[in-house]
Structure 1
């Protein structure tokens, strides 16, 4: 399996190369030269696989010779050894909606499912190396903690996490900033998540800087993250869908990585009837699907902070396919975004986008009402991001469909949102670590690229 950049489809890179690079030097995102389709006979075997076995079979299709079968199985086994639920992913069915619990990992969010695997991959690839990798990532709340947990204390890895200052929940922040490992560095940026993400991209594209610090990244732009997320689409289909009916999946969406994994799963042969992009009031993706225009607006701070995003990085991956897999055509759209502040899809591109995805927007009052109704009527507590994905599935047309709603985080990560919804504070899962009174370590910096670079270099050289 070889990979190329969305902005240069002539590249022929290995999985190992794109794993370490994260983002292409030309600013594009990595994609495989083909999407493997799983045979019917192989899919039949999935019915008897557990999550780890399914993960192994799917990763094998994308990694080439980067890991032996023995190494890959070991990485996956270790990755999920700390999960609180032996199934890794579980489902709670209420009425016609199956709630997909993706939060049983060490930091209470779906990001753990991919990040624990990535941490093991870094460990395996660097175990005999004298080189030190510096991971630099941006987080809207959940990626940071998941990435830190996966690599904290590991040999030959430092991690620098940029988060928007005072724009994530207190629990999200504490889950990042209370680690004591000396290879962990948290940076609070005076700005939005989009600002953090832009800073990270600029550092990747600056070849001199990226090479100087041996930079790598674990944002959802890293293709390995997408592969790990593909797994649970197959898992819910074969483990929680008795008649194997075509499924409808509603996904809380910010950076487009999780929903994009569903698109790839469908191309690999999974019987997905509909993928619903569920957004809060930062609804650039819903507006694009409704109008064909992709135009970032000002970020609105919300009670679902992980979706407070106006520039969805992974959207470039679907744009590549909408552009007939033509890098030059894609670059024209990205140039319009850079110079004009927006781009407009052609009639054909717009039609294709609407064929693959539908979209929904949920405002604050609707989010709180959905959380309250579900708790009052079914004694089931969800987080605010999940609530946005419930909204479209409440329509009558879905009552007879096989509907799955992704629970992307545990409710305890958003105490103020839950308090607004049900007038009670959520509880952490049993045996979860205590973070409440632990000392936090992070630095607050202005949204200036040179300040960030200087800080990173200073810490590396210390």
Structure 2
């Protein structure tokens, strides 16, 4: 398997090269040259596998011969050994709704599923090929802590994580800033997540800087993140379908950056029997508006009770755009130029029809979010995080939909208390996190300031 850029300016890459590059050197996102197509017999076989064995099978077509199968199996086993549920991502049923629980990893959020694996992949490739890696990422909440826990203490790796100051939950902030390993560097940006993401993209686009410091990506701009997130769609389908290829499922996906729902779309393109993919957004509704109108136009970033989704420019949207435009990099570049010049891009009527075939979408208010947390808890005792509640609201008209439960509710105690009047019991990984010592730099939302911080921190250690 080889990997290409959505903008067409990168020579085909191996899986290992794509993982280490992260963002394409032309500014585009990396995509597989060919999306594997799975026969019904393979789906039936996969439905019988446990999560770890399934992960190896799902990843193998994308990894190819870049990593020997025995090594890949070892990477997968080590990545999920620390999850607190034996199924890793179990499907449960409460309040007459099915929930795909993705919060049993070390930071109690869905991003652990991908970032525990990505951290081990980085370490494996560095040991094999030599050198060092400096990870740079932006987070709206959960990516940062999951990435930090994926690489903390690993030899040859430093990680720099930007988060918008005051715009993540207190628990999310402390999960990042209380990790005091020498290779972990937290930066609070005086701005929004979109500002932090813009800085990351600017530094990755500065090729001399990227090459001098050997920058790598953990945001969902890294394709390995997306590939790992496809696994739990296959797993949920296998648990609920019994392997019947005629059994189609819908999934409701809380999303801001389009990565998790793009993983579902990729699984569907591979042959997973998916009926509807429901994009669930909060007041920051750029994706919902795009599905409704075919126009992708950023607006003001609003703070909500579901802060990990307070995003107006979804970094993975470009991957979907590439496929929507029939894998034509020139067409992608044209629309992105239109976006840069006018602040919006628009797809034609035929392609908008295809978008409507691929996705449903709904924006959910804070009031609806609180009401859903309250409703589910009163009916079943099951407590939702606000992001999961957004997904449940968006799927209200699709009773058979599986809702992705993206984080443990104890990460968002303020919203939960507002909804039900009490705090959810924290998992062991979150107990005492607000009382621990912290370390974090504060910087303006400026790429030069962040670059200077990285240079000062690494000093003469750059390679």
Contact 1:276 1:357 in 2 (8 A): yes
**Deviates most, 38-47 or 166-175:** 38-47
Residue 266 (str. 1) matches residue 264 (str. 2)? no
Shift of 1:243: 7.4
Q: Deviations over 1:138-196 (max 9, x none)?
A: 00000000000010000000000000000000000000111121000000000100110
Distance 1:431 1:119 in 2: 19
Partner of 2:420: 422
Checking the alignment, whether the CA contact within 8 Å between 1:96 and 1:403 is kept in structure 2 is no
Shift of 1:73: 0.5
Return 320-329 or 406-415, whichever deviates more: 320-329
Match of 1:367 in 2: 369
| 1:355-434 equivalence runs, <5 A | 355-395=357-397, 398-399=398-399, 402-430=400-428, 433-434=431-432
SS in 2 for 1:13: coil
Map residues 222-371 of structure 1 onto 2, 5 A cutoff. 222-242=222-242, 244=244, 245-371=247-373
Classify 1:432/1:459 alpha carbon distance in 2 versus 1 (closer, same or farther; 3 Å).
same
Report the alpha carbon displacement of residue 433 of structure 1 after superposing the two structures with TM.
5.0
Distance 1:391-1:196 versus aligned 2 partners, 3 A rule? same
Q: CA deviation at 1:95?
A: 4.8
Secondary structure at the counterpart of residue 291 of structure 2: helix
For residues 345-370 of structure 1, the C-alpha deviation after alignment (integer angstroms, 9 at most, x for no partner) is: 11111111111011011001000000
2:436 to 424, 438, 443: 438
Q: How does 1:198-237 map to 2 (within 5 A)?
A: 198-237=198-237
Instruction: Indicate if the aligned counterparts of 1:5 and 1:29 stay in contact, CA closer than 8 A.
Output: yes
TM-score normalised by the chain length of structure 2: 0.97
Partner of 1:137: 137
1:118-129 equivalences in 2 (<5 Å): 118-129=118-129
Q: Is the 8 A contact 2:369 2:389 kept in 1?
A: yes
Q: Partner residue of 1:22?
A: 22
1:282 to 1:432, Cα distance in 2 relative to 1, 3 A: closer
1:73 paired residue number: 73
Unaligned runs of 5+ in 1: none
Matches within 5 A, 1:91-102: 91-102=91-102
Query: After the TM superposition, which segments of 4 or more aligned residues of structure 1 sit over 4 Å from their partners?
Result: 430-433
**Which deviates more, 39-48 or 251-260?**
39-48
Structure 1 residue 295: Cα displacement: 0.5
The farther-off stretch of 3-12 and 13-22 is 3-12
Note the C-alpha offset of 1:240.
Answer: 2.7
| 1:10 Cα deviation after fit | 6.8
Give the superposition deviation at 1:427.
1.8
CA distance in 2, matches of 1:307, 1:47: 31
Alignment correspondent of 1:455: 453
Instruction: Report the alpha carbon displacement of residue 40 of structure 1 after superposing the two structures with TM.
Output: 2.2
Unaligned runs of 5+ in 2: none
* CA–CA distance in structure 2, aligned partners of residues 125 and 434 of structure 1: 35
- TM-superposed deviation, 1:430: 4.3
Q: 1:432 to 1:198 in 2, by over 3 A?
A: closer
CA distance in 2, matches of 1:345, 1:441: 45
Q: 2:112 & 2:45 partners in 1: Cα distance?
A: 26
**Helix, strand or coil at the partner of 2:433:** coil
Alpha-carbon deviations, 1:90-148, whole Å to 9, x = none?
12213542011000000000000000001111111112454111000000000000000
Contact 2:95 2:380 in 1 (8 A): no
User: Residues of 1 paired with 2:412 and 2:10: CA distance?
Assistant: 44
The alpha-carbon deviation at position 392 of structure 1 amounts to: 2.7
> What residue number does 1:12 align with?
12
Partners in 2 of 1:167 and 1:66 — Cα distance? 39
Offset at residue 9 of structure 1 (A): 6.9
Change (3 A) 1:128 1:260: closer
Does the Cα contact within 8 Å between 1:97 and 1:393 map onto a contact in 2?
Answer: no
* Aligned residues between the structures: 458
- Aligned counterparts of 2:373 and 2:96: Cα–Cα separation in 1: 17
Q: Is the 8 A contact 2:294 2:352 kept in 1?
A: yes
Secondary structure, in 3 states, of the residue corresponding to 1:61? helix
